[in-house]
Amino acid sequence: MTSEPPNPPPTLLLFAKDLLFETRIRSTAETLGITLRSARDSRTILGLLANSDVAGLIVDVDCGEDAVAAVESARQANASLPIVAFGPHVQAALLERAGAAGANAVLPRSRFVQELPDILRTMTSTAPG
């Protein structure tokens, strides 16, 4: 009798510069059994997308133009990847540009925080695989 190896936990990528906020997201992910990997640039995101089973990408638009570039690069690399962009409501232009670059959902930070567990569950349950 052989037993199948357990499925690895789903993995999400996070592109953010706020380490305290990253800790909050990571804690919620771990509670849900989701692995969160951090990326600090588009090249790292593309490498992780190419070499691992990533269920989705979360992008903080507080990273500025790099956030929009990260969304755009990830979307070009994987057309079906769930991408959620979030940030302060005062960053409306960057939030809008992240959506135009390919984010499936664009949320103000307050809503992202309020819905975080549901967002993480949805991203990992709808990922291809």
Per residue in 31-77, pLDDT (tens digit) is 999 999 999 888 899 898 887 789 999 999 999 999 999 999 999 99
Backbone dihedral angles phi then psi of residue 82, each to the nearest 5 degrees: -65, 125
4-8, 56-60, 103-107: which range is least confident on average?
4-8
Residue 47: phi, psi to the nearest 5? -65, -45
Amino acid present at 42: S
The pTM for the full model equals: 0.91
pLDDT at position 6 = 66
3-state secondary structure of 117: helix
Domains of the chain: 11-125 (3.40.50.2300)
Q: pLDDT-derived band of residue 109, with 50, 70 and 90 as boundaries?
A: very high
